[in-house]
Structure 1
Amino acid sequence: MMLTVFNIAWGYDLGDEYAHITTNISPDVDGESVDFFFTGSLAAIVDPASGSVLLEVS
């Protein structure tokens, strides 16, 4: 699944191995979904403007 991310809020709860991320929540972005996930579920971070892979998790 690919997400479009304009901003993030992140943190750890007690006992979490991975940080949780909430996207597009502050400030609110009209027409974009708010998503919640853990960093342990990331496969890659890609710059949509250039297509450059900024991070790839193996």
Structure 2
Amino acid sequence: EVAKLFAMAGVVTITSFICPRNELRTLAREIVGQADFLEVYVECSFETCEQRDVKGLYA
């Protein structure tokens, strides 16, 4: 909702989510609007996640 308000004001907004469920990504797309929504998928191996993990989430 906040990203939509910024987009309506002409502000480029970048948000980051860990969202494994497609229906939630679809909801975000519907809220913002297809014209202002760009989804980028970034894949990383489990081993790389372990190496980068500063919070111990992959330990």
| TM-score category of the 2 structures, normalised to the smaller one | under 0.3
- Structure with larger Rg: 2
Higher helix share: 2
Higher relative contact order (CA 8 A, sep 6+): 2
Higher strand share: 1
